[in-house]
Amino acid sequence: MLFISTDEGSSFQRQPVSFTVDTLLFHPSEEDKLLAYSKEAKLYISTDLGHKWTLLQERVTKDRVFWAVTGVDVDPDLVHMEIQDIGGGYLYVTCLIQNCSDKMVTAQFLGKIDHNSLSVQDEYIFVKDVQIVSTDENQVFLALQER
């Protein structure tokens, strides 16, 4: 169940959903668009502030979903995500919210990436287990821990 307000919290509407919502990720510039990550590792999209939902992708890694970066990605409806490959590894993929079927998913790299490692920050995309300290002034400052 979601509670939706269109009047800055003065009133709320109850909106039932057919899946268990774990996290919500609002579009950075279009307030009616949001992504919902379910407890079943599925990613859903709504373009009407949560009234209707469409399955976007399955086998998605929790907290490894990012909207398009303004000024960097050409289309604001692009989604960056880490998904589990059917073979068991993990991939960094992108797709548009209007068409995100397995056939339309674009694998950015030919190989596998580290699980739980995708991070999109400013104009940078990271796919290794590092801690990003800063991406200011067109520079990247990372903290690495050797294993």
Per residue in 62-82, pLDDT (tens digit) is 999 999 998 888 999 999 999
Average pLDDT of the segment spanning 12-19: 94
Residues 128/117, Cβ–Cβ less than 8 Å = yes
Classify 94 in phi/psi space as left (phi over 0), alpha (psi -120 to 50) or beta.
beta
**Integer CA distances (angstroms), 62 to 3, 11, 35, 99, 136, in order:** 22, 31, 12, 21, 26
Q: What angle do CA 78, 126, 30 make, to 5 degrees?
A: 25
> Average pLDDT in the 112-135 region?
79
